[in-house]
Amino acid sequence: MFYIDPYYIMLVLPALFVAMWAQGRVSSTFSRYQQVRSYSGMTGEQVARQILDDNGLFNVRVERIAGSLTDHYDPRAQVVRLSEGVYGSESIAAIGVAAHETGHAVQHATHYAPLSIRTAIIPITNFGSRLSFPLLLIGLVMGSQNLVDFGILLFSLVTVFQLVTLPVEFNASSRALRTLESHNILMGDELAGAKKVLSAAALTYVAALIVSAAQLLRLVLLFGNRRRD
C-alpha cells in the first residue's frame, strides 16, 4: 500500500507551486525589461562601479560571473559578481539588478544589522540543513523522540535564515531604487520598470520562506507530537 502524506499535499505542494510561479515571474519580468535599453546608456558594471565609488567602496571589485541571474555580493571577498546578462548590458533590468547587488555591499560597509545577523548564522544554518533529516530519520528508527525533535529544531534554522533574508533583500532593493533616482541613472518609466524587476525578484525570497515554513510545519505535525513508547 502507498502512504499518502496529507500534510505534504495540504502544505508543501501549494508552497512549491507558489515558488514555481515566483520563479517564472522573475524570469519573465527580467526578460521583458532586459530588452529595454536605458537612456543613460550605462552598463550594469558601470552602474555598480559608480555606486560603489560614490559610497567610498573603492576596494570592492565588480566581476563578471557565468550563468543567468547568478548575480550576488560576496562579503568575504568583497566582490560584486554580475551575471553575463547584467555585467555588460545597458538594459533597465541589468541596471536594476546591478544596483541591488551593490546595495548589499553598502549594507556590509555600514554594518546593516539584518545582513550581519544573516552572515553570522550561515554556518549554523548550513550545519542544520545537512544534519536535520539524517537525525530525524535516525531518531525514528531508534525510537528516540529527542533526536527527532533535535532534527526538527535544526531544520527550523533554515526557516529562520529565510526570514532574516527578507529585510536584507527588501532593503537592498529600496536602496537601489533611491540611488538610481537620485543619481539620474534611471528616470520615470525606466525607474518603474526597474522596480518591477526587483519586486519580482523579491517574490522568490518570500516564496522560499513559504516553502521552508510549510516544510517545517509538516515535520512538526508529522513527528513533533509522537509519544514515546
**Nearest-5° angle of CA 53, CA 58, CA 62?**
85
* Residue 135 grid cell: 537525525
Helix or strand holding residue 51 (H, E)? helix 44-54
In total, the chain counts a number of residues equal to 229
Write the DSSP symbol of residue 73.
E
Catalytic residue selected from 63, 84, 90, 101? 101
* Residue 117 grid cell: 545577523
What does each C-alpha distance from 104 to 77, 111, 158 come to in angstroms?
A: 13, 10, 21
Helix or strand holding residue 12 (H, E)? none
Cα separation, 165 vs 216, in Å, equals 17
| Contact criterion met (CB below 8 Å) for 220 and 152 | yes
Is 19 in a helix, a strand, or coil? Answer: helix
The reply to whether 45 belongs to the active site is no
Strand order in the sheet with 61-65: 61-65, 79-83, 72-74
Active-site residues, by number, are: 101
